[in-house]
Amino acid sequence: FPNTWVVVADSDEFHSFHVQDSKAPEVTIPGTSEKSLDIISVLAEARKRGKSILAGTFVDRVALNCSLAPILQDPCIWNQFPKKSNITREILDGSTSKILVHTANVRTTKGHHAVGHYKKVEPLFWWSSGFEVNHFKWTPSVIPKLERRVKVLKELGKAWYIQSERFLTFYHEHGKVCVADATPP
């Protein structure tokens, strides 16, 4: 089934789709006033455009007060973490380009930030800053996870511990997770 769509999302990621020139209907994200285009319609439009990879922007979602707030049963997660931030880019110095959806014949790299082993892939891409991977990682549990990650990766001699170490240093220095370019809800 090479033309079957694969939605790529980690357990702390939720996709939203915003494209001005799209004919896809808007839907309201349950429990919020936030809108997103209907994914089924977006995928149908992508197929009409001859695209098999939808890529966009990684958006870190944080609590209004910039704390590492726990996830609660209520209100919905979008209302608990209403601020958009660029922790990944500004603190971790990581990539904020992300593949959200692709057809089954496409292989992505680890982390789904790029396409692996593809020649002439550019025409297959539909990239939009309005395609967002909303990242709800920044809760109290992130500190011990990142501390363990730094320890293990250093022991293994893996250089990518540096991003986790950057965040821990920033958080211990500032006591919050917002960076200058966080936008209000």
Which pLDDT tens digit goes with each residue over 66-104?
A: 999 999 999 999 999 999 999 999 999 998 999 999 988
| DSSP class per residue in the chain | -TT-EEE---TTEEEEE--TT--PPEEEPTTSS-EEE-HHHHHHHHHHTT--EEEEEEEEEE-TT-S-PPP-SSS-HHHHS-EEE-HHHHTS----EEEEEEETT--B-TTSSSB-S-SS-GGGEEEEEEEEEEE---STTHHHHHHHHHHHHHHHT-TTHHHHHHHHHHHHHHSS---TTPBP-
User: How would residue 122 be classed by pLDDT, with cut points 50, 70 and 90?
Assistant: low
Distance CA 41, CA 62 (A): 29
Average per-residue pLDDT in the chain?
88
Instruction: Give the percent of the chain with pLDDT over 70.
Output: 93
The answer to whether the pTM exceeds 0.95 is no
